Amino acid sequence: MPLKTHQDEQPALNLTPMIDVVFLLIIFFMVGTKFAEWESKLTLKVPQVKQAGALAPAPEKRVINVYRDGQIAIDREMVTVEELAQRLAALKQQYSGAGVLVRGDSEGAFQHVATVLGACRDAGIADLGISVRVAQHEAGQPHR
């Protein structure tokens, strides 16, 4: 069996392609920057509008409280289901993206909350939320 008497050359890293790519990227970004400068210097008369103030921020979600006995309060004022629907419809006309947060008493019947949700739907309110809180389980009892 013949023995190798000469050593192979160590592989060399050819940096030429990487340097070419870097130079091409530099040229690309330099040319792109020049075009952006030329475009902003074009003699173009843009349309004018009258000065307007800042856009009004979206109103916060209205909070509707549903008590254990079925009473309903919006903005801390007691209302009936019909009055609630009228107020929400008026709110929807003022701001199409109006939203509400329904807070129901945990000891009350869910039917009361469902009635309020139906009134919200009838008024056209699409942004609905239901308030809940995370239960704190005691040590030793399984978390369900």
- The predicted-structure confidence for 74-118, as pLDDT tens digits, reads as follows 988 999 999 999 999 998 888 888 889 999 988 888 899 999 999
Nearest alpha-carbon partner for 64 in 86, 88, 92, 95: 88
* Residue 131: band (very low, low, confident or very high) from pLDDT cuts 50, 70, 90: confident
Tokens of 90: 């008026």
**Of the ranges 14-28, 29-43, 95-109, 119-133, which one carries the lowest mean pLDDT score?**
29-43
Give the distance from CA 20 to its chain's centroid.
Answer: 43
Is residue 120 within 8 Å of residue 100, measured between CB atoms? yes
Tokens of 52: 């307007």
Examine the pLDDT at 17 and tell me if it is beyond 90: yes
Examine the pLDDT at 26 and tell me if it is beyond 90: yes
Triad 77, 79, 82: Cα angle to 5°: 150
Q: Residue 60: its pLDDT value, please?
A: 84
Q: Residue 67: its pLDDT value, please?
A: 92
The domain limits of the chain are: 62-130
Q: Is the dihedral of CA 84, 87, 92, 97 positive or negative?
A: negative
d(CA 23, CA 86): 68
* Residue 72: band (very low, low, confident or very high) from pLDDT cuts 50, 70, 90: very high
Class of domain 62-130 as given by CATH: alpha beta
Helices (H), the chain: 16-40, 81-94, 110-123
